[in-house]
């Protein structure tokens, strides 16, 4: 670890958290700056590239769809220059170049993290243009390793899910508190206007979800994967419902229970440490925000069964998830370093939850541009508190998370990622809104009630 801390006291306070970061899977550089990292990474990195390497660099550009981004090698040579470039990708070591050839997503992600690859220009804009180019030539082509392998997600058994969730969500509440909104909502916001604050947009998102669920005072709600508890508390406070919220992240649950006690809602919201597969009982509404990405396709039928068995005949269920326009292999770097076990589904894959369980889709909405704006704001806030993040972790961690936030913002903007909200009911549930006006105004819209 680089260990860039501001004082001996900060070092002692962060020791426990930093130990956790060392086991997070993020590759580490071997010194406190790029020079130490690069010299350790590749012997002879400053030697001029061979003609073969320059030619192979053009093949990388081909795999990326020849974006308007210049490629520069470790000696300063430029094997690919599109003219009017909006940015530059610099391979600072020969080792990083060859690792990127072997597995483009993983190799380039790891090289950026260790400082052996740098990006000049606006990070989101450069990655956005790269994402467009990659989509044009076919994402699978860029995802394949040198041996033709495509990345696969980790297995989300009960034990596997617990391990994967801890890897990302148990990094420490102090870390997430630095750059999330005041309610600690770590999912796509809903911007009622382009200039809305993140706090206002997250509040609007929670209202948007609650209105889709048609909540009324006294109803019971099950929430699968509740994060830091913001939605559960919002539904209880603003809509007068009773919520049982399930989560397997110990850090998030501790924070959520503390917030419930502080706000006087502990008698209306129960936070339960358990896997979604163990949810039992009956509810008037079932909601899952940002959990499906961590479920895995092999477990969709089980989630659907849980929804079918617990949702009352008159109830609504909503599943909110990052997704794809079509089935697609996972991102190798995100899978290995940031979100192990994650797999964003296409709409057709999401239907594997509902169709086998005779659940009827009543509404689908794609909020991908809202997530692009959310992630852009998260990155802005993250950049504003980089010194504090470095005090908890180090430079490699900072670079990894900047790449993650910027890369996801770019992917939503480029339509490589989607954000789906799907509402379902039981068959023959006809007391449903005749239009979507109820989502955008306080007045309740007319209903089909046949």
* pLDDT at site 74: 97
pLDDT for 20 beyond 50: no
Q: What is the CATH number of domain 158-366+417-448?
A: 3.40.50.150
Q: Which of 10-14, 68-72, 443-447 has the lowest mean pLDDT?
A: 10-14
Euclidean distance between CA atoms 65 and 149, whole angstroms? 20
pLDDT above 90: residue 435: no
| Interacting residues of 264 by C-beta distance below 8 A, sequence separation 6+ | none
pLDDT of residue 434: 85
Domain 8-143 - what CATH class?
Answer: alpha beta
Q: What is the mean pLDDT of residues 31-40?
A: 39
Write down the pLDDT at residue 335: 87
pLDDT surpasses 60 at 125: yes
* pLDDT > 90 in the chain, percent: 72
Average pLDDT over residues 291-306: 94
pLDDT at 405 over 90: yes
Asked whether the predicted pLDDT for residue 415 surpasses 90, the reply is: yes
Q: What's residue 437's pLDDT? A: 87
pLDDT greater than 60 at residue 22: no
* Region(s) of the chain under CATH 3.40.50.150: 158-366+417-448
Query: pLDDT-derived band of residue 243, with 50, 70 and 90 as boundaries?
Result: very high
The 10s digit of each residue's pLDDT in 190-225 is 999 989 999 999 999 999 999 999 999 999 999 999
Q: Is the pLDDT of residue 230 over 60?
A: yes
Say how many C-beta atoms besides its own lie within 10 A of residue 213's C-beta: 22
Residue 319 predicted with pLDDT over 80: yes
Q: Which of 109-113, 193-197, 411-415, 446-450 has the lowest mean pLDDT?
A: 446-450
pLDDT score, position 226: 96
Task: Name the pLDDT band for 166 (thresholds 50, 70, 90).
Answer: low
CA 176 – CA 255 distance, rounded (Å): 11
Residue 188's pLDDT band (boundaries 50, 70, 90)? very high
Residue 37 has pLDDT above 60, yes or no: no
Instruction: List every span in the chain annotated with CATH 3.30.1050.
Output: 8-143
pLDDT higher than 50, residue 6: no
- Per-residue pLDDT averaged across 400-419, rounded? 97
Give the pLDDT confidence score for residue 368 in this predicted structure: 97
Whether residue 5 has pLDDT greater than 70: no
Q: pLDDT tier at 162 (50, 70, 90 boundaries)?
A: low
For the stretch 81-108, pLDDT in tens is: 999 999 999 999 999 999 999 999 999 9
Q: Whole-angstrom Cα distance, residue 4 to residue 403?
A: 19
Active-site positions?
A: 408
Residue 258, pLDDT > 70, answer yes
Above 90 in pLDDT, residue 383?
A: yes
Mean pLDDT of the chain: 87
pLDDT bin (cut points 50, 70, 90) of residue 41 is: very low
Band the pLDDT of 172: cuts 50, 70, 90.
confident
pLDDT band at 21 (very low <50, low <70, confident <90, very high): very low
Q: How many percent of the chain have pLDDT more than 70?
A: 82
Which of 53-62, 127-136, 347-356, 434-443 is least confident?
Answer: 434-443
Supply the pLDDT for residue 261.
97
Choice between 155 and 289, residue whose per-residue pLDDT is larger: 289
Find the mean pLDDT for residues 109-118: 97
**pLDDT tens column, 327-379:** 998 888 998 888 887 889 999 999 999 999 999 999 999 999 999 999 999 99
pLDDT average, residue stretch 289-301: 94
pLDDT exceeds 60 at position 9 = no
* 3-class secondary structure per residue, the chain: CCCCCCCHHHHHHHHHHHHHHHCCCCCCCCCCCHHHHHHHHCCCCCCCCCHHHHHHHHHHHHHCCCCCEEEECCCCCCCECCCCCCEEEEECCHHHHHHHHHCHHHHHHHHHHHCCEEEECCHHHHHHHHHHHHHHHCHHHHHCCCCCCCCCCCCCCHHHHHHHHHHHHCCCHHHHHCCCCCCCCCCCCCCCCCCCCHHHHHHHHHHHHHHHCCCCCCCEEEEECCCCCHHHHHHHHHHCCEEEEEECCHHHHHHHHHHHHHCCCCCCEEEEECCHHHCCCCEEEEEEECCHHHCCHHHHHHHHHHHHHHEEEEEEEEEEEEEECCCCCCCHHHHHHHCCCCCCCEHHHHHHHHHHHCCEEEEEEECHHHHHHHHHHHHHHHHHCHHHHHHHCCHHHHHHHHHHHHHHHHHHHCCCCEEEEEEEECCCCCCEECCCHHHCCCCCCCEECC
């Amino acid at each position: 670890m680089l260990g860039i801390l501001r004082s001996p006291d900060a070092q002692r306070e962060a020791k426990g958290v930093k130990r956790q970061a060392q086991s997070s899977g993020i590759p580490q550089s071997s010194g406190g700056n790029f020079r130490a990292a690069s010299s350790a990474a590749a012997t002879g990195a400053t030697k001029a590239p061979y003609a073969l390497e320059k030619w192979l660099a053009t093949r990388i550009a081909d795999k990326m769809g020849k974006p308007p981004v210049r490629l520069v090698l470790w000696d300063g040579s430029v094997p690919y220059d599109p003219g009017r470039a909006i940015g530059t990708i610099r391979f600072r070591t020969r080792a990083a170049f060859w690792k990127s050839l072997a597995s483009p997503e993983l190799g380039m992600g790891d090289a950026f993290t260790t400082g052996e690859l740098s990006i000049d220009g606006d990070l989101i804009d450069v990655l956005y243009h790269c994402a467009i180019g990659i989509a044009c030539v076919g994402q699978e082509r860029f995802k394949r390793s040198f041996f033709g392998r495509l990345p696969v997600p980790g297995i989300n058994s009960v034990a596997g899910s617990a391990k994967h969730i801890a890897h990302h969500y148990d990094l420490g509440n102090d870390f997430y508190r630095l750059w999330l909104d005041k309610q600690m909502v770590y999912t796509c916001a809903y911007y009622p206007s382009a200039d809305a604050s993140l706090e206002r947009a997250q509040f609007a998102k929670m209202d948007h979800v609650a209105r889709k669920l048609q909540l009324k005072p006294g109803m019971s709600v099950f929430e699968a994967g509740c994060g830091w508890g913001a939605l559960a508390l919002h539904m209880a406070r603003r809509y007068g419902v009773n919520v049982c919220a399930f989560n397997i992240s110990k850090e998030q649950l501790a924070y959520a229970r503390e917030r419930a006690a502080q706000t006087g809602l502990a008698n209306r919201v129960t936070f339960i440490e358990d896997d979604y597969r163990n949810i039992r009982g009956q509810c008037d509404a079932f909601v899952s925000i940002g959990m499906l990405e961590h479920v895995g396709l092999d477990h969709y039928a089980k989630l659907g069964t849980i929804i079918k068995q617990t949702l009352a005949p008159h109830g609504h269920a909503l599943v909110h998830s990052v997704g794809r326009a079509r089935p697609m292999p996972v991102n190798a770097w995100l899978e290995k370093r940031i979100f192990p076990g994650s797999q964003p589904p296409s709409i057709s894959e999401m239907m594997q939850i509902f169709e086998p369980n005779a659940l009827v889709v009543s509404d689908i909405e794609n909020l991908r541009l809202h997530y692009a704006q959310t992630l852009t704001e998260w990155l802005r806030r993250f950049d504003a508190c980089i010194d504090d993040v470095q005090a908890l972790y180090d430079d490699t961690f900072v670079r990894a998370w900047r790449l993650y936030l910027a890369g996801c913002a770019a992917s939503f903007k480029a339509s490589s990622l989607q954000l789906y909200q799907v509402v379902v009911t039981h068959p023959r549930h006809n007391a449903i809104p005749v239009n979507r006006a109820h989502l955008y105004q306080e007045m309740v819209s007319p209903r089909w009630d046949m």
